[in-house]
Amino acid sequence: MAEPARKIDVIDARPDFTQADADALNARFEGVHASAMLKALFAEDDLGKIAVVSSFGTESAVLLHIVAEADRNIPVTFVDTLKMFPETLAYRDTLIHALGIKNTNIVQPDPATLAKMDENGLRWSFDPDGCCEIRKVEPLARAKASLNSWISGRKAFQSVTRQNLPRFEVEDGRLKINPLGDWIKDDLEAYFKEHDLPRHPLEAEGYLSVGCAPCTSKVMPGEDPRAGRWRGWDKTECGIHEDVTPLPDADDGGANDPIF
């Protein structure tokens, strides 16, 4: 008599979050202030392991203040590409101290990769996409590897490539939260004034969006706020923010219902 076939364990490899989860959250928090939204989400503790990713750019203080007011223990991750303005590094330290942020994490490019792919440090000048990949995208991917959710500072008004930005997206199975996605410049300015937040020292010089020093220039009157990034190149994003394709729900007999 033949032995019965061995039962193979089935591993549920479905992502932590699905598009249905994001849709439910977008509906639930429509019209709710970002501060109230984050306080509710942090209190419910259903986001898994989470962190804020901040560039410590010209608008970063608003999101960091809102997060800190909700929970100062939420980790804040900064990708130091080793091409940052000294003013940005100083501003990072200023905000961490001023806002009482208790948990920070700095990630940098892999030294072996830099030695192999950007030995002279000039890759930005002929291959900005490749430079961003090794100096920002890969380090951030390492930082996000253990996360279930992450918080981004993107806003729809910043660029035509960011229009129709939802508050909640799903990216590689992680929940990506854009608390300020529907804010406009006037909202940010009002918040800066109301809470007397420190400004990035380069903003007064005309740098309205600050990234790596070699690829950031001043913005002229009437230009898109991100026009000073990668000027002269057909490039608008560093690569850490990509178009999100909705993930299909798993056919698991109801397990794909929204978790919120």
The catalytic residues are 238
Please give, one letter per residue, the 3-state secondary structure of the chain: CCCCCCCCCCCCCCCCCCHHHHHHHHHHCCCCCHHHHHHHHHHHCCCCCEEEECCCCCCHHHHHHHHHHHCCCCCEEEECCCCECHHHHHHHHHHHHHHCCCCEEEECCCHHHHHHHCCCCCHHHCCHHHHHHHHHHHHHHHHHCCCCEEECCCCHHHCHHHCCCCCEEEECCEEEECCCCCCCHHHHHHHHHHHCCCCCCCHHHCCCCCCEHHHECCCCCCCCCCCCECCCCCCCCCCCCCCCCCCCCCCCCCCCCCCC
**Cβ partners under 8 Å of residue 82, min gap 6:** 108, 109, 114, 135
Cα angle for residues 200, 98, 102 (degrees, 5° grid): 115
Please answer whether residues 20 and 258 qualify as being in contact, where contact means their C-beta atoms are separated by less than 8 angstroms: yes
